Amino acid sequence: MIYYFSGTGNSLHVARHLADALGERLSPMVTPGATQDEAIGLVFPIYAWGIPQVVEAFIRRGPLQTAPKGSYIYAVMTCGDDMGYADKELDKALQSAMGRKFDAVFSVQMPNVYVCLPGFDVDSSKVCKEKYAREEKVVKEVAASVKARETVRRFKRGVFPWTKTYVIRPLFNRYLLTDKYFQVDVSRCIACGRCRKSCPVGNIIIDEVPKWQAHCAGCLACYHACPYHAINFGKMTQKKGQYNLMKQLYANP
């Protein structure tokens, strides 16, 4: 079984490729199915050089708790560039929940989707294509390691990982992991509902315009899914790009 969490589509893209390579089933972390498989994978994105709260909650209260003793448990984390000490946060969560660490941890670079701070924007089409090409190669390597039940850590930690995970990340979670800054341009919004459908945690309702319900995962799926760029995160994203892979993925389940 491969459990995944995905907002903009990157992690779902990787999870599908990995499931095909391993002949495994997929299950979303937000509505997980039970498993008695001997190999269990988690695929999810890195948020601010750490693991999303959805993933941490899944590890602490999800079906891993009833997994067969001795199961091979591995994680594949998608990131735009690097992951800091996200692996340590991941192991800490599983150690607390089950008294063990992950058998294997991997990272896969995918196109950047975070656009809410100065200097952050989506990748160009050229960079996206390059990352997609590398993803196919990396996922094959991950699948081979999983089949062989290797105990391995292969990821890109990046520069200043401690500062990113343990200084910047807490500030990000405190001040920017919120939906209160989302704004809707009513001159552009047609209440099509794509933002609501794209939200992986059901945080949006449509009441003439989208309205957020204060349990945001911080994935920005709503921003990227809007066909009219009617949704913005404050003023930061008004002139930023959008990432379109998710539209293809969710149109072809």
The pLDDT of 120-131, averaged and rounded, is 92
pLDDT for the residue numbered 251: 46
* 41 contacts 1 by C-beta, under 8 angstroms: yes
pLDDT for the residue numbered 246: 52
In this chain, the answer to whether the domains covering 2-173 and 182-251 adopt an identical fold is: no
The CATH number of domain 2-173 is 3.40.50.360: yes
* 189 contacts 210 by C-beta, under 8 angstroms: yes
The pLDDT of 164-182, averaged and rounded, is 96
pLDDT at 201 over 50: yes
Tens digits of per-residue pLDDT, 213-251?
999 999 999 999 999 999 999 999 999 999 976 555 444
* 61 contacts 38 by C-beta, under 8 angstroms: no
Q: Where are the domains of the chain?
A: 2-173, 182-251
pLDDT for the residue numbered 252: 45
Q: What percent of the chain has pLDDT over 70?
A: 96
Across the chain, where does the E strand assignment appear? 2-4, 26-28, 39-45, 72-79, 104-109, 152-154, 182-184, 204-207, 209-212, 231-233
pLDDT for the residue numbered 69: 87
Tens digits of per-residue pLDDT, 40-77?
999 999 999 999 999 999 999 889 988 888 999 999 99
Residue 208: how many other CB atoms lie within 10 Å: 9
Task: Report the chain's mean pLDDT, rounded to a whole number.
Answer: 94
Q: How far apart are CA 64 and CA 107, in angstroms?
A: 21
Q: Residues 170, 171, 172, 178: is their CA dihedral positive or negative?
A: positive
- Say which CATH class 182-251 falls into: alpha beta
